[in-house]
Structures are given as C-alpha cells and as structure tokens.
Amino acid sequence: MKMNSMSPETSPLLEKITCLEAVNRNLHSALERIPSLCNFQMRNNMVDDPCVTFLETAAERVGQLIKFKACSFYLVEEESADFTLAYSTCTIQSVLLNDEIDHLIKEKLFNWALKRKKPIIVKAKKTGETLLLHSLVTATRVRGFFIAYLAEKGHQIADYNLDLFSFILFNCANAIESYNLYQWNTGITTELEEQLIRLSDAKNELQRYREGLELIVEERTLSLDKTNIRLDRVITERLKVQNELSQSHRELEERVLARTKDLEQIQGQLIIHEKLTAIGQLSAGIAHEFNNPINFIRTNFACLHGYFSDLLDLLQLYVRLEHHCIDNSMFLRLTELIQQKKIAIHDQLIIKEIPHIFEESEIGFKRIEEIIKVMRNFFKKDTQSTPIYFDLNQIIKEASTFSLTLFQSTIRFTKELGTIPVTLGFPELIKDVLLNIILNSVQAFESQARKEYGMVTIKTWHDQSAIWCTVSDDGPGISGEDRSRVFDPFYTTKEPGQGKGLGLSTAYDVITNKHQGKLIIDCPEGGGTVFTIRLPLVAYVEEGNNARVS
Amino acid sequence: MQECPEITVLFVDDESATLNSLCRYLRREPYRILLADSANKALEILAQESIEILVTDLRMPGMSGLELLNHITTLYPKIIRLVLSATTDQEEMQKVKSTEQIFKFITKPLIPQEFKQLIREAIIYSQNQSC
C-alpha cells in the first residue's frame, strides 16, 4: 500500500493505526510500570501498621491509574472474620462508602464482588455515584475489600489500567499476607523463645530440684546410716537370740542325752523284765521237776508214818509181853496177838520196805538238792564289769546241766567239745546266751508236742583267730521271715505274756558288742536250727590272775 | 468200806519212784494195784486186765497222758479216769479238763490221806455207774 495515495477510505484506517499505536504505547508504558506499581516492600523502620501503609500505597498507586473521589479499604479481622475499615482517603466519604457497603451486602452484590477477583463498576442506587469495587484476595484467601467513588461519570477507564489495578490489589493482598505471616512467624518465634526461656527455667528448676534431691539423698543417707545402726543393733540382738538358741539346743542335746540314758536304763529294766519272764517260765518247769520227787517222798513218808505206828503198836505188844512173862496163859495169848499183828501189818514186808523208802527218799532229796544248787549257781551272778579269762567248755557244761535239770522231760544234750584255749570275756553273759539259745530250742520242741526228747548238740573248736561254738537242735527250725528278725528286740512268735522277745536280741548284743564276736542263725534244709557263735581269741596273759580255767 | 476184790486201779507214771511210793502207800487198800511206767505199757495192761480206775501222769516221754486218756475214752469209756500231774501250768490243766472227762485232776505233790480218799470215792462212783 502507498502512503501518498491515501484515499478517503484509508483515512479511518490510518486513524485506527494511530490509535492502536497510542494504545500500544500506553500498554507498553503500563507494562513498564508494573514492577514499580506492584512492589510493596516492607520497611524496617515502619512505625505505623505496615498493612495501613500497604493500603495507603495501594490507594496512591490506584489513584495514578484511575481517578476516584474517595476510596476505602476493608480488611478481614483474623479472629471474627468481620470486614472492618482499615484505611480511607477521606474520612467523610468513608462513612458514605460504609453505607454503600451495607447496601451492597443487602443486595447481595458484596459477596458476588468478593468472588469476582476483578474490578467491578456499579451505580450506587442512593447516591447515584459510580462505585469501583474490588476484592482484596491472595491465591488462597480473602484479605479484604476495596471500594471507591469514581471521579467522573461516564469516564472510560482503559482496560489495561483496570488490569494494573487488579495487579496492585493482588500484590497488596500478598504483602499484607506476607506481613501477617511474618507477624505470625515472629509470634511463633517469640513463643518459641518464651518456651525456650520456660524450658531454661524448667531446667534451672530441675537443677534446683536436683540440688534438693541431693539434699534429700544426703538426708536419706543419714537416716539410712541411722537405720543401719539400728539394724546392727537388731543383728546383735539376733545374734544374742541365736546364741541363746544354741544354748537351748545344747540344753536340748543334754536332755536328749539324759533321756537316752533313761531309756537305756528302761531298756536295762526291760531286759531284767525279760529275764524275770524267762525265770517265770523256768520256774514252771522247775516246779514240775520239784513236784515229782516231792510227790513220791511225801507218799513214802505217809507210808513210813503208817509203818512206824504199826511198829510202835508191835513194840507195845512186846513190852506187854515182857511185863506178863510170868503168866503163861497171858504169854500164849500175847504171842498169839503178836502173831496176828505181824500178819496184819506184814512185818516182813515192812522190814524189807523200809530201806527202800529211805533209799528212794534219799534220791528225792538229792534231786531237790541238785536243782536248788543249780538254781543258786544260775541266779548267783555278780555283775562283772571287766572281762576275765574263761573256758567256754566249762560254761557250756554249766548251761547244759542247768537246762537239763529244768527241762528234764523235754531235752537231751550231745556234746562234742574240742580242746579250746581260754579266752577273754564275760562268762556269765555267755552262759545267758547259751541258755537263751537252749530256751529257744525248748520252746520249739514244746511247740511240736513231740514224743521223743528234743536233741541239742553243742560243738566247740578253734582256729588261729577265734573260738567257735555251734548249738544245733532237731526242732522245727525257724521260717525265713522270723529268722531275719530273730535278733530284733521285742520280736517274738510267742503268745503274749510268754516273754517279750528280748532273749535272742540280748544274746546278739552280748556276742557282737560285748565280745566283738559273731552270732549267726541258720536253718539247714534237713531241719532244725543252728546257732553259730564266734568269739575272737584273746591270748592268755600270765599275769591275769582273774583267769577262770577249769 | 466193803471188800471189793474185783476192783483194780492202774497207775501210770514214767517215774518208778512215784509208782513205788503209791503202790506202797495204798498196799492195804481194798483193791488191786497195777503199775505202768509208760502210756504204751498202760495200754498193754488194759488190753489184758479188767481195770476200773486209772490214775495217770501227763508229761511222759513217748505217748503223753492226754493221749492215753484220749485212747481210753474211746476204748474203755467205763474206766474212771484221774490225773496225777506235777504241772503248774494252768493252760495245760485247763486243756486236759476241757478235752477229757476226768473224775479228778490231782496235782503233785499229793496229800496222801486226801488222795487215798479220792481213790475210794472214785471206786464208789465206779460201782454206782456199773450198777
């Protein structure tokens, strides 16, 4: 297209171009102004509320773009969320503007305007003024509201100015928000600092508390020390009590010892009782053996008594014969009487019998004497305290003689006594042992109700270290269970009242404890019971003048 | 007391001195006396002789008096039985008295006069039984 050949059609176009160029210039200048218009900087030396300053700045800058009679800024209160007047260019006008706001709210234009985020130009119904409205918003929230009376009616405002106006308010809102955030931040910092101070205080308090604690610990330590001392005292007392306990323990032991002694005494008494029981049993046998000879002696003596009175009668006749010797007839008569008497009393028989009577009586007396002698020997026992030398064979002879006397109708002995040396011990106790063993056999024989005599065989021999003696019988033997308990004190198969069962246990005690020997019971398969006694051989010493050698 | 020559008394004892003394003492009594020194001997005599009264010991070698009494009770129930024993064992005495019907249990040593009287009583008892 050619410039010089402008036609009337081209002139409006040219005008348009000129206009557009003007617009372009304006836009360009507007763009250039953006940085300065939108820069809201907070100054450190700000004495007033920076928000008001921001709003003042914003009003001034808006005024450069858009002519207005008066304007007001409302800000949202943080706590109540109410819109309150924060800044106004004119105090009087601000009251009117406030009324306008009330109207806008009533007509629900206010909320609409808030949401628009763009400049809104409306006609005020009451005053007829032109109102410029704009929300004060950031990207995230509503900060406030702008309201102004425009200066001229029908005044056209350039679009770019309106855009700049929006920019200014947006940045102002951001500045306010930044300030608020700054304030909030500062508040938090302060709070943190305060908390820090509080923490420090707390730390100090803790420190004090710790010191207090140390004090308490010290006090506690002191009181613990005191407690320790008390405990020490308690321990001392306890020890005392313990000592007392030990003392009473000792006393108890002493009492136990004393009691043991008592018990030993009782045991001794029991053994004596056992012995008495045995004696009681023996005396039944003794009585039986006594009664037999006494019986025939008595019968014989009754007989002798009769014979004697017979002889006395006869003697009287002879006396009368002497007196009347002269008288023949009398003599004859007496002779006759004598003859008759002789026949009546069997005088020849009397003469023959009397020696027998005396002989038998003598035997009876001798037997009684022997029994009494044996019994006296048996029960005449000195309690011997020290061991003496003795001949076992001699003891066996005494025991068997005694037993034979007592149990004449029950028992017979076979003795195979070897030549044995004397040994040291308690012969009377050994005799007891033998008698107990023999008594055991006698009881076994009697339990059998046998017809023949019970045979007891006693053997002795010796080797280098010991003297041996076996006492065996042909009785029924002892069952295994009884045999294992035969030496237990108070063990008896006898009926109650027939002995306490101490005989063999005493025998065991005598052989094993008093003589360090052995007493063994055995029942061979062939029958009978065998008691084996082993007495350690103690060499005879010459000086021993208490030796009992037969 | 009437003469009763048919009456025979048998004494049983293992001890001859006892038998002799009894025989001697009772020689003039109106009955015949027989002696046995064991129970077996007594049974032999009983088999041969007519015996009315028997007096026996208890403890004897071989057969005991109790066994003898047992036999007699079975074989010769009419014989009047007496025991003359030296035992003092109450149990033994009780046993004999409970198992055997005996006329009298006499303990040694006997009292001669009483014994003589007892035998007479036994004879009367025997005669009454047989009548």
Chain B residue with CA closest to A295: the answer is B109
Handedness of CA A327, A331, A332, A336 (dihedral sign): positive
Number of Cβ atoms within 10 Å of the Cβ of A10: 14
Stretch A153-178: mean pLDDT: 82
Q: Do A453 and B61 touch (CB under 8 A)?
A: yes
Taking the CB of residue B84, how many other CB atoms lie within 10 A of it? 24
Q: How many Å is the maximal CA-CA distance in chain B?
A: 39
- Report which DSSP code applies to A548: B
Token pair for residue A221?
């330590």
Residue-level length of chain A: 550
Same domain assignment for residues A175 and A204: no
Asked if B56 is an interface residue toward chain A (Cβ–Cβ < 8 A), one would say no
Identify whether the C-beta of residue A34 lies closer than 8 Å to the C-beta of residue A167.
yes
Contacts 24+ apart (CB under 8 A), A105-109: A109/A133
Kindly state the average pLDDT of the residues A64-89: 86
Q: Where does A115-190 show beta strands of DSSP type E?
A: 120-123, 130-137, 142-150
| Structural contact between residues A387 and A425, judged by C-beta atoms closer than 8 angstroms | yes
Strand order in the sheet with B32-36: B32-36, B8-12, B53-56, B80-85, B104-107
- Is B54:B12 a contact under the CB 8 Å cutoff? yes
The CATH number of whichever domain residue A146 belongs to comes to: 3.30.450.40
Q: Do A288 and B88 touch (CB under 8 A)?
A: yes
Q: Is the predicted pLDDT of residue B32 greater than 80, yes or no? A: yes
B17 with A291: Cβ contact below 8 A:
no
Of the candidates A6, A170, A150, A175, the residue with the CA atom closest to the CA atom of residue A66? A150
Between the CA of residue A213 and those of A205, A210, A219, A220, A357, what are the distances in Å?
A: 12, 5, 9, 10, 125
Residue A546, CA distances (Å) to A78, A426, A514, A539, B1 in order = 135, 12, 18, 14, 70
CA distance A34 to A40: 12
Q: Mind telling me how many Å the CA of B29 is from chain A's nearest CA?
A: 12
Among the partner-chain residues A288, A291, A409, the one whose CB lies closest to the CB of B61 is: A409
Cα dihedral sign for A110, A112, A114, A117? Answer: negative
- Indicate whether A167 and A212 sit together in one domain: no
Residue A185 and residue A215 in one domain: no
pLDDT, one tens digit per residue, over A125-137 is 777 888 888 988 8
Q: B18 and A296 in contact by Cβ < 8 A?
A: yes
Closest Cα of chain A to B130: distance in Å? 30
Least Cα separation, residue B63 to chain A (angstroms)? 6
Q: Which of A335, A370, A405 is the last residue of a domain?
A: A370
Per the structure, the complete domain to which residue A274 belongs is given by 191-370
Q: Is B18 on the interface with A (CB under 8 A)?
A: yes
Phi, psi of B121 (to 5 degrees): -60, -40
Q: Choose the closest CB to B109 out of A291, A349, A451.
A: A291
CB contact, 8 Å: B33 with chain A? Answer: no
Where do the H-state alpha helices sit in A144-158? none
Mean pLDDT of B34-40: 95
Identify whether the C-beta of residue A54 lies closer than 8 Å to the C-beta of residue A172: yes
SS3 A41: coil
Quick: pLDDT tens for A266-314. Answer: 777 677 667 667 776 676 677 777 788 888 888 888 888 888 888 888 8
Q: Which long-range contacts does B28-31 make (Cβ < 8 Å, 24+ apart)?
A: B29/B116, B29/B119, B29/B120, B30/B1, B30/B2, B30/B3, B30/B4, B30/B5, B31/B4, B31/B5, B31/B7, B31/B119, B31/B123
Name the least confident of A27-41, A222-236, B95-109. A27-41
The CATH number covering residue A443 comes to 3.30.565.10
CATH number, residue B68: 3.40.50.2300
The domain in which residue B56 lies consists of 8-126
The mean-pLDDT minimum among A217-221, A309-313, A491-495, A524-528 falls in A491-495
Residue of chain A with shortest Cα separation from B20: A296
Nearest to A446 by CA among A281, A303, A225: A281
Which range among A263-267, A335-339, B14-18 shows the weakest confidence by mean pLDDT? A263-267
In this predicted structure, what is the pLDDT of residue A415?
A: 93
- Going from the C-alpha of A170 to that of each of A39, A42, A58, A176, A500, the distances in angstroms are 11, 16, 10, 10, 130
Judged by CB atoms closer than 8 Å, whether chains meet at A298 and B112 is answered as yes
Give the per-residue pLDDT at A491: 59
Same domain? For A251 and A285 the reply is: yes
| Chain A residue whose CA is closest to B22 | A299
- B58 is a domain residue: yes
pLDDT higher for A182 or B46? B46
pLDDT value of position A158: 78
pLDDT tens string A24-69? 888 888 788 888 877 887 665 556 778 888 888 888 888 888 888 8
| Residue B44 belongs to some domain of the structure | yes
CB spacing of A292 vs B87 below 8 angstroms: no
Check: CB of residue A487 under 8 Å from CB of residue A477: no
Asked if residue B66 belongs to a domain, the reply is: yes
- DSSP-assigned states of every residue in A307-348: HHHHHHHHHHHHHHHHHTSS-HHHHHHHHHHHHHHHHHHTHH
Quick check: helix, strand or coil at residue A392? helix
> Does the distance separating the beta carbons of B110 and A299 come in below 8 Å?
yes
Which chain A positions have a beta carbon within 8 Å of B89's beta carbon?
Answer: 284, 288
How many beta carbons lie within 10 A of that of residue A467, not counting itself?
A: 24
Q: Which residues of B touch A346 (CB under 8 A)?
A: 27
* Any domain includes A279: yes
- For the cut 90, the answer to whether the pLDDT of residue A461 exceeds it is yes
Task: Report yes or no on A430 lying in a domain.
Answer: yes
CA of A270: how far to CAs of A274, A411, A437, A499, B30, in Å? 6, 28, 19, 11, 57
Pair A392, A420: CB distance under 8 Å:
yes
With respect to residue B131, please indicate whether it lies within any of the assigned structural domains.
no
The answer to whether A297 contacts chain B (CB < 8 Å) is yes
Number of neighbouring beta carbons within 10 Å of residue A234 = 11
Of residues A499 and A54, the one with the higher pLDDT is: A54
Q: Classify strands A411-417 and A454-462 as parallel, antiparallel or unpaired.
A: parallel
The per-residue pLDDT for B8 is 95
* Number of structural domains chain A divides into: 3
- The answer to whether B62 faces chain A, any CB pair under 8 Å, is yes
Residues A513-547 have pLDDT tens digits of: 888 999 888 888 888 889 999 999 887 765 544 44
Instruction: Collect all residues of chain B within an 8 Å Cβ-Cβ radius of residue A349.
Output: 27
Nearest CA in chain B to A284: B88
Same domain, A161 and A121: yes
Residues of A in contact with B20 (CB under 8 A): 296, 356, 360
Residue among A284, A297, A360 whose CB faces B88 most closely: A284
Same domain, A361 and A345: yes
Do residues A441 and A475 lie in contact, with contact meaning Cβ atoms separated by under 8 Å? Answer: yes
Q: Does A128 lie in the same domain as A231? A: no
A292/B63 CB distance under 8 A: no
Residue among A289, A294, A295 with most chain B CBs within 10 A, to mutate: A295
* Cβ atoms B80, B53 nearer than 8 A: yes
* pLDDT of A414 strictly over 70: yes
Strand order of the sheet with strand A454-462?
A411-417, A454-462, A466-473, A529-536, A518-522
Residues 381-420 of chain A with CB under 8 A from chain B are 409
Q: In the block, which residue shows the tokens 């339990």?
A: A447
Q: In this structure, are residues A356 and B20 in contact, taking their beta carbons and an 8 Å threshold?
A: yes
CB of A300 within 8 Å of a chain B CB? The answer is yes
CA atoms of A429 and A406, how far apart (whole Å): 19
Question: CA torsion, points A252, A253, A255, A256, in degrees to nearest 10?
Answer: 120
Whether chain B has a CB inside 8 Å of the CB on A453: the answer is: yes
- Enumerate the residues of chain A whose CB falls inside 8 A of the CB of residue B111: 298
Is the residue at B3 inside a domain? no
Q: Do A98 and A175 share a structural domain?
A: yes
**Which residue in A299, A353, A453 is closest to B22 by CB distance?**
A299
State the pLDDT at residue A526.
Answer: 80
CB distance from A20 to chain B under 8 Å?
A: no
Final residue in a domain of this structure, among A190, A225, A246: A190
Out of A370, A401, A416, a domain closes at A370
Is the confidence at residue A363, as pLDDT, over 90? no
Q: How far is B88 from chain A (nearest CA, A)?
A: 6
Are residues B108 and A292, on separate chains, in Cβ contact within 8 Å? yes
Between CA A370 and CA A388 the distance in angstroms is 27
Per the CB < 8 A criterion, the answer to whether A294 and B109 are in contact is yes
pLDDT at A14 over 70: yes
Q: Does B95 touch chain A (CB under 8 A)?
A: no
Q: To the nearest whole percent, how much of chain B has pLDDT over 70?
A: 95
- Is the pLDDT at B81 greater than 90, yes or no? yes
**Phi/psi of residue A314, each to 5°?**
-60, -45
Interval B75-98 mean pLDDT: 87
pLDDT, residue A41, reads: 76
- ipTM attached to this prediction: 0.80
Work out the burial of residue B67: count CB atoms within 10 Å of its CB; fewer than 13 is exposed, 13-18 middle, 19 or more buried.
middle
Whole-number pLDDT of residue A496: 46
pLDDT at A45: 58
pLDDT category of residue A497 using cuts at 50, 70 and 90: very low
* Cα gap A51→A232, rounded to integer Å: 80
Question: What total of structural domains would you count in chain B?
Answer: 1
Per-residue pLDDT tens over the stretch A92-146: 888 888 888 888 888 888 888 888 888 888 888 777 888 888 988 888 888 899 9
Measured in whole angstroms, how far is the alpha carbon of residue A82 from the centre of its chain? 80
For residues A411-431, give the mean pLDDT.
Answer: 91
Identify all chain B residues contacting A303, using CB atoms and an 8 Å cutoff: 21, 24-25, 112
